[in-house]
Structure 1
């Protein structure tokens, strides 16, 4: 039986396919962590019901329910503290976190991004890779810093860009890699943090 002392909180905005893959991997007896909660910035995020079905605590904080970004982030922060979260995994969380929030969780927030960073920060990464005529594309797990998709890289997985690829076909192949890479990268982070 692995040591499950490290507490992971996962932040989502939608269906949370990376959250599901991550939670399943973490549930393995030898994975050195446990998921203590899934938090969404949308009440109707499909991933919340799935996480609940997996017996994971869930909550949501809708941005429109708060008067400011700072107030919204304070509520998220308080919930993470309540869950005793050690590491925050962003899994399709579509909000940029402020430097003020990130500073409270230095080297404790990781994200998965669908490109081989530093290439293609931001959105529409698959279409951009196809349009650029890239021969390979992929995904990156990285630490979250104040600059969008700029934090230190933890791990990457590559896929070839095929001549007949569409945005949908490339997205599907990269997503397959994301689902494997995220848990592997998280395990690496936990190994590195061991005293």
Structure 2
């Protein structure tokens, strides 16, 4: 299985996944990081790990349709089988969804359907919730609305600041996401061998 990771920002989940791919703790081969922000720190993480990366923006491409088409061409050229979103802050378009049915997964820092979209941790804290969570789901055309693969609750403590809560949510992500990616790719590889 040839895997691409899409990310937009700092890239801590990308780095943890990439390290596990490189150590063969996750089956398949991580062949590409795609980032929609050319100056994002995740690109430096990819460079340090020797992972091939590509970055361009919607603005560079002219519009969203051209942007998605260019991504699709990149994925085809790299013979990508499976896509892992790790802090990629754009909605995936129908062309790529059709190209990779049930082969794109996302990590979301909330217990969906609670707090879809951006600033999920901040919103849960501001609302005075007693818990939030982490969700891993298949990607569909909606906003964090695809079929859920697994979820884990994260308590919100009375003393929590945004920074302390983010730290615990990210710790949960860093543990859970590699496990799920490993399980899914193991299943996909078995299916491929049996076809």
Aligned equivalent of 1:12: 7
SS at structure 1 position matched to 2:152? strand
CA distance in 2 between partners of 1:32 and 1:90 (Å): 17
Aligned equivalent of 1:191: 186
More deviation, 130-139/74-83 = 130-139
How far the C-alpha of 1:28 sits from its partner, in A, is: 2.2
2:137 maps to 1:117: no
Contact 1:26 1:183 (C-alpha < 8 Å) held by counterparts: no
Contact 1:13 1:92 (C-alpha < 8 Å) held by counterparts: yes
How far the C-alpha of 1:15 sits from its partner, in A, is: 1.7
How far the C-alpha of 1:102 sits from its partner, in A, is: 1.3
Contact 2:26 2:181 (C-alpha < 8 Å) held by counterparts: no
Pick aligned residue for 1:72 from 67, 71, 80: 67
CA distance in 1 between partners of 2:94 and 2:73 (Å): 16
SS at structure 2 position matched to 1:8? strand
Runs of 4+ aligned residues of structure 1 deviating over 6 Å after TM superposition are none
Aligned equivalent of 1:99: 94
Could you tell me the TM-score, scaled by structure 1's length? 0.92
Aligned equivalent of 1:29: 24
Aligned equivalent of 1:130: 125
CA distance in 1 between partners of 2:24 and 2:125 (Å): 40
How far the C-alpha of 1:30 sits from its partner, in A, is: 3.9
CA distance in 2 between partners of 1:175 and 1:109 (Å): 21
2:44 maps to 1:49: yes
Larger helix percent: 2
SS at structure 1 position matched to 2:23? coil
SS at structure 2 position matched to 1:36? strand
Q: CA RMSD in A?
A: 1.3
Stretches of structure 2 that go unaligned for 5 or more consecutive residues are none
Could you tell me the TM-score, scaled by structure 2's length? 0.92
Contact 1:61 1:76 (C-alpha < 8 Å) held by counterparts: no
CA distance in 2 between partners of 1:161 and 1:8 (Å): 34
Aligned residues: 190
CA distance in 2 between partners of 1:85 and 1:171 (Å): 31
CA distance in 2 between partners of 1:152 and 1:85 (Å): 22
CA distance in 1 between partners of 2:152 and 2:20 (Å): 17
More deviation, 166-175/100-109 = 100-109
CA distance in 2 between partners of 1:180 and 1:82 (Å): 31
2:154 maps to 1:159: yes
